[in-house]
């Protein structure tokens, strides 16, 4: 009898042990299921209520020049130019004449661990913004928006040119009419097109899909984000068409409302990239209540459309991994190339310093400003925030940039948006972008 009981007890023990082992194995398999290293970023911040009716705005094709309502039409120059007055800080912008060539830029790239792409770094940001700038201006805003039509073909391969999927954008619309938090038509990595094409040819392809001034908003749903792309520019005529033909299709797929501003410095003085970005910020907000600003070098092309051009809770360095830097981050505090800040964040740090003439230093100074007020730099993972850099001649470095950086903290409150002086020469809404032509005053320094 005792032997029988022991036998049953032994069998019960073995059965329990077997079940425990089986459960452990099943749990282990679940825990070790592979996680994709290339998971797509999601907007994590709640989007603001855009309010109002869902608008279906058709691209506007305008053969004649248009003047912004409420602004005087006292234009005296050629019909496609806008001459007017602009004041920044205490300086009034006086009239001037012709436009000139195009841009400059700088690089920054990089890499940062996947941990850097935290939830706060991945979200779309929105806040109600008001143009509280005290600057005043009377101007004629001209539309130069005649653009041809072009047929865009689609590609069935997984790696696509941006233009291939222009006509394939499908939108899932929520019950409230808002675009979905995650754009549904992202491809991830794709092949950029660095080949030069005349600007007129690029306009034929893209202008029918855009509003005058290079602005866009999805027609099928209400965008979560209003983003101004600010591009400091001078003497980069070969880069501009390549930049525009790659960037516009990239941004359209992200279902954001956006506008591209090419801010060109007039000849006659050293290039001041930081001041041009300050000017772009001020002038863009005069046109529309943008809530997110992306500052973008004209020679950098994004390589993955999951790199969302939105603003999270913290300032975001976008160009983390650039091909010319071996797709690695040169140093952890870098903030150059492509960066994104909300209007509130940019005003909190008083914008960029106006003291950096020539190449280098202004982005590191901005990094110091962000740290000074308690922000940290957010980044996407290096497998998403990838860029290719267009070849260009190396710019002459600013020999005083390190001295300016070392003493920068003394000027954070006095050198920036509140000390910006410039003269607005022209502001024209072209088919693919809004051209802001300015002369930067040395008094800004």
E-strand spans in 111-159? 137-138, 142-143
Both tokens of residue 425?
């020469």
pTM: predicted TM-score of the whole model, two decimal places: 0.66
| Cβ-based burial of 24 (10 A; exposed 0-12, middle 13-18, buried ≥19) | exposed
Both tokens of residue 82?
């806008």
pLDDT (0 to 100) of residue 54? 35
Angle formed by the axes of helices 199-206 and 239-252, nearest 10°: 10
Please tell me whether residue 153 adopts helix, strand or coil conformation.
coil
pLDDT (0 to 100) of residue 339? 98
Q: How far does the chain reach from its first CA to its final CA, in angstroms?
A: 101
Q: At residue 430, what are phi and psi to the nearest 5 degrees?
A: -90, 170
pLDDT (0 to 100) of residue 316? 98
Q: At residue 64, what are phi and psi to the nearest 5 degrees?
A: -100, 160
Of 123, 102, 168, 193, give the one whose Cα is nearest residue 430.
102
What kind and span of H or E run contains 402? helix 401-406
∠ at Cα 346 (344, 352), nearest 5°? 165
Spell out the residues 6+ positions from residue 408 whose beta carbon is closer than 8 angstroms to its own.
Answer: 353, 365, 368, 369
Of 444, 422, 406, 432, give the one whose Cα is nearest residue 96.
422
Classify residue 292 as left (phi > 0), alpha (psi -120 to 50) or beta.
Answer: beta
Give me Rg for the CA atoms of the chain: 26
Bridge partners of residue 145, in order along the sequence: 62
Four-point Cα dihedral 245, 275, 438, 394, nearest 10: -60
DSSP state, residue 177: S
Four-point Cα dihedral 201, 204, 207, 208, nearest 10: -160
The rounded percent of the chain whose pLDDT value lies above 70 is 63
Please tell me whether residue 427 adopts helix, strand or coil conformation.
strand
pLDDT (0 to 100) of residue 113? 36
CA distance 23 to 356: 64
Both tokens of residue 227?
């983003």
CA distance 62 to 403: 49
Whether residue 271 contacts residue 234, with contact meaning beta carbons closer than 8 Å, is answered with: yes
CA distance 167 to 183: 15
Residues of the chain with pLDDT under 50: 28-40, 42-143, 145-171
Both tokens of residue 25?
């194995």
| Cβ-based burial of 166 (10 A; exposed 0-12, middle 13-18, buried ≥19) | buried
What kind and span of H or E run contains 233? strand 226-233
Name which CATH class applies to 85-398+425-444.
alpha beta
CA distance 216 to 237: 23
Whether residue 379 contacts residue 316, with contact meaning beta carbons closer than 8 Å, is answered with: yes
Angle formed by the axes of helices 273-287 and 362-372, nearest 10°: 60
CA distance 110 to 363: 14
Both tokens of residue 162?
């941006």
């Amino acid at each position: 009898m005792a032997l029988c009981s022991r036998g049953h007890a032994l069998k019960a023990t073995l059965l329990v042990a077997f079940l425990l082992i089986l459960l452990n194995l099943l749990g282990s398999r679940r825990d070790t299921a592979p996680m994709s290293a290339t998971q797509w970023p999601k907007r994590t911040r709640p989007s603001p209520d855009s309010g109002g009716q869902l608008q279906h705005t058709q691209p506007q094709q305008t053969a004649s020049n248009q003047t912004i309502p409420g602004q005087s039409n006292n234009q005296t120059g050629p019909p496609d130019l806008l001459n007017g007055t602009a004041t920044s800080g205490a300086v009034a912008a006086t009239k001037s004449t012709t436009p000139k060539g195009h841009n400059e830029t700088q690089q920054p790239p990089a890499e940062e661990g996947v941990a850097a792409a935290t939830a706060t770094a991945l979200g779309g940001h929105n806040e109600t913004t008001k143009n509280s700038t005290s600057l005043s201006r009377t101007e004629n805003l001209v539309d130069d928006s005649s653009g041809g039509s072009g047929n865009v073909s689609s590609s069935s391969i997984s790696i696509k040119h941006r233009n291939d999927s222009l006509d394939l954008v499908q939108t899932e619309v929520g019950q409230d009419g808002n675009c979905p938090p995650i754009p549904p038509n992202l491809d991830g990595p794709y092949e950029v097109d660095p080949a030069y094409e005349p600007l007129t040819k690029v306009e034929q392809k893209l202008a029918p899909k855009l509003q005058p001034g290079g602005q866009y908003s999805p027609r099928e749903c209400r965008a979560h984000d209003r983003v101004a792309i600010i591009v400091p520019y001078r003497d980069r005529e070969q880069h501009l068409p390549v930049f525009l033909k790659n960037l516009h299709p990239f941004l359209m797929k992200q279902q954001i409302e956006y506008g591209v501003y090419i801010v060109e410095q007039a000849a006659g003085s050293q290039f001041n990239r930081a001041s041009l970005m300050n000017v772009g910020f001020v002038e863009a907000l005069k046109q529309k209540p943008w809530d997110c600003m992306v500052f973008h070098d004209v020679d950098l092309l994004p390589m993955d459309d999951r790199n969302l051009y939105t603003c999270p809770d913290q300032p975001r360095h976008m160009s983390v991994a650039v091909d010319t830097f071996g797709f690695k981050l040169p140093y952890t505090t870098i903030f150059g190339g492509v960066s994104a800040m909300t209007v509130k964040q940019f005003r909190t740090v008083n914008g960029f310093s106006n003291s950096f003439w020539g190449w280098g230093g202004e982005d590191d100074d901005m990094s110091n400003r962000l740290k000074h007020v308690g922000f940290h730099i957010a980044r996407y993972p290096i497998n998403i925030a990838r860029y290719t850099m267009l070849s260009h001649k190396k710019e002459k470095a600013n020999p005083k940039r390190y001295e300016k950086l070392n003493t920068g903290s003394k000027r954070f409150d006095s050198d920036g948006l509140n000390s910006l002086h410039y003269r607005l020469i022209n502001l024209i809404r072209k088919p693919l972008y809004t051209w802001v032509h300015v002369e930067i005053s040395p008094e800004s320094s």
